[in-house]
Chain A
């Protein structure tokens, strides 16, 4: 069995599991949690392209998510855009923004890149809060219309689930394809040795900006979907904490693993449901999780599973 055949089987199995899950779930509460898992998976996969593959940190990805949501919200509520058109416009806008800021920002490395993206995230967050006439400020924006497709209106938990997950699955499929391609290899090459990648003819600077743009564009798409399914958005969902949460999802799941990003997103979406007793301390728990994971399982959960499987195989052979 070749690697690409195995990829197809894994993806099909995962897709089927996603499709039948709502039939097994009891009640809207759980269904809604799974809608959030879908959105977060899409975001984590997007960030993973940048962080896991190219090895470039972003502590401002919540801003791209928020920009997608707000542009969609503003265009539909104020300018009577069709929600699908608003989504496309939001994704394109954010793509252009990411492309433009990508060139200066991605010249930076390590901590400096983290600081610059963090700064970008904070600036955008402030804009959401302060441009009250546009965004409704801290109290948010409501009345964002649902998406619809012919006779189907995506306004129930069940329809939202399928809407979100179709996009999430598509994102995952395209990312898996990308990972096992010339571009995916070039990205991982940048991660391992930038100088060797350049010598081998990889245009490192341009490729970093391109993947940053793609990552931002997918995040914006997730933002639009979020706005149109929730119909209400407020700046608090798009702040620094959420950017950190996204990074945590990617690292817990496993850098460079698409299915790992799903695991990370699922855990970090479910965890708060169990951690309600700690309410404001959840960020502390995430911090602890990150520390424990990077020390004991640097490959993330997927890396851990792979190591475990390898160990079992060795024992079998012995």
Chain B
């Protein structure tokens, strides 16, 4: 589904990622883990078009997407969430999810301003589908609230609902459990598994080992910009290099 090939990225002399390659299997949950500063978020930003890599290529379903901006990637079915939750704070929860349907609708300024018949129909579809995703993620009761006033955990769910609304083929989540309490994390694990059963490929960057080991099929370990290991959660847990990287060389 998603394939990163020989990605290298430097920031003013500091090598953030060096020669990173791995494949994300279609329909699987892939976890990317690593200590702080390993380059996980950089890798995500490159894959989703926010940064551009120095060398290497990114393929989505066989198509080279290396130089495409994020708005194009959304149309190709790749969507992401953010570590710090990037919501549209002044809009309602429902409206946030409706923006998620942007790529699934096409009325332009003219037909929106003049309320042409096609636009009215489309607006109804957007509204109906957005409500469906609120229900899917269990935040229907918050629909009318301003997104900026949501507690963090609910904001996270909203961000996932908004991402799902674009009906992606693959969804990349940057530390979805960050800032969540253990009950919320459990709920999140359930939601992630539920999303997988609907056929959507998932990539997680995550610190919460318990979550990674629970939900992931494959785990990629980064350390200081290098790929340290790749395998099933069980392999990774027993890999001496990974243990050394996490616990120090001692």
A positions within 8 Å CB-CB of B? 174-175, 177-178, 181-186, 188-189, 191-193, 195-204, 210-211, 214
- Knowing A201-B166, A202-B99 are in contact, say whether A182-B105 is a contact too (CB < 8 A): yes
Tell me if B112 and A183 are in contact (CB < 8 A): yes
Least CB distance from B113 to A in Å reads 4
B154-187 CB mask vs A (1 if < 8 Å, else 0) is: 0000000010001000000000000000000000
Least CB distance from A197 to B in Å reads 7
* A-B pairs, 3 with minimum CB distance: A201-B74, A181-B112, A201-B103
List B residues 108-128 near A (Cβ within 8 Å). 108-109, 112-115, 119, 122-123, 126
Query: Which stretch from B32-40, B90-98, B231-239 is at the chain A interface?
Result: B90-98
Tell me if B75 and A174 are in contact (CB < 8 A): no
Tell me if A185 and B98 are in contact (CB < 8 A): yes
In the complex, whether B86 has a CB less than 8 A from a CB of chain A is yes
Tell me if A184 and B112 are in contact (CB < 8 A): yes
Least CB distance from B210 to A in Å reads 28
Tell me if B71 and A204 are in contact (CB < 8 A): yes
- Knowing A177-B113, A181-B119, A204-B71 are in contact, say whether A199-B48 is a contact too (CB < 8 A): yes
A197 vs B89: C-alpha distance in the bound complex, in angstroms?
12
Tell me if B113 and A174 are in contact (CB < 8 A): yes
Chain A residue, CB-CB nearest to B107? A182
Tell me if A186 and B102 are in contact (CB < 8 A): yes
Least CB distance from B127 to A in Å reads 10
Q: For B87, give its contact among A174, A177, A184, A193 (CB under 8 Å).
A: A193
In the complex, whether B203 has a CB less than 8 A from a CB of chain A is no
Chain B residue, CB-CB nearest to A199? B70
In the complex, whether B80 has a CB less than 8 A from a CB of chain A is yes
A241 vs B47: C-alpha distance in the bound complex, in angstroms?
47
Tell me if B88 and A199 are in contact (CB < 8 A): no
In the complex, whether B138 has a CB less than 8 A from a CB of chain A is no
A199 vs B48: C-alpha distance in the bound complex, in angstroms?
8
Residues of B within 8 A of A192 (CB): 87-91
Least CB distance from B197 to A in Å reads 24
- Size of chain B's interface in residues, with CB distance under 8 A? 38
Residues of B within 8 A of A193 (CB): 86-89
Chain B residue, CB-CB nearest to A207? B109
- Knowing A174-B114, A182-B126 are in contact, say whether A197-B109 is a contact too (CB < 8 A): no
- Knowing A174-B114, A188-B90, A191-B90 are in contact, say whether A198-B109 is a contact too (CB < 8 A): no
List B residues 60-78 near A (Cβ within 8 Å). 69-71, 73-75
Q: For A210, give its contact among B48, B100, B109 (CB under 8 Å).
A: B109
Tell me if A185 and B90 are in contact (CB < 8 A): no
- Knowing A174-B113, A199-B48 are in contact, say whether A189-B88 is a contact too (CB < 8 A): yes
Q: For B102, give its contact among A175, A182, A210, A214 (CB under 8 Å).
A: A182
Q: For A185, give its contact among B95, B108, B109 (CB under 8 Å).
A: B95
A197 vs B166: C-alpha distance in the bound complex, in angstroms?
12
Least CB distance from A229 to B in Å reads 24
**Can you report 20 A-B residue pairs in the complex whose CB atoms are below 8 A from each other?**
A174-B113, A175-B113, A181-B113, A182-B107, A182-B119, A183-B108, A183-B109, A185-B102, A188-B91, A189-B88, A192-B91, A197-B88, A198-B69, A199-B71, A199-B73, A200-B99, A200-B100, A200-B162, A204-B71, A214-B109
Chain A residue, CB-CB nearest to B76? A201
Least CB distance from A300 to B in Å reads 13
Q: For A195, give its contact among B50, B74, B108 (CB under 8 Å).
A: B50
Least CB distance from A170 to B in Å reads 10
Chain B residue, CB-CB nearest to A179? B112
In the complex, whether B59 has a CB less than 8 A from a CB of chain A is no
- Knowing A175-B113, A186-B102, A201-B74 are in contact, say whether A181-B107 is a contact too (CB < 8 A): yes
Chain A residue, CB-CB nearest to B172? A199
A141 vs B172: C-alpha distance in the bound complex, in angstroms?
61
In the complex, whether B16 has a CB less than 8 A from a CB of chain A is no
Least CB distance from A105 to B in Å reads 19
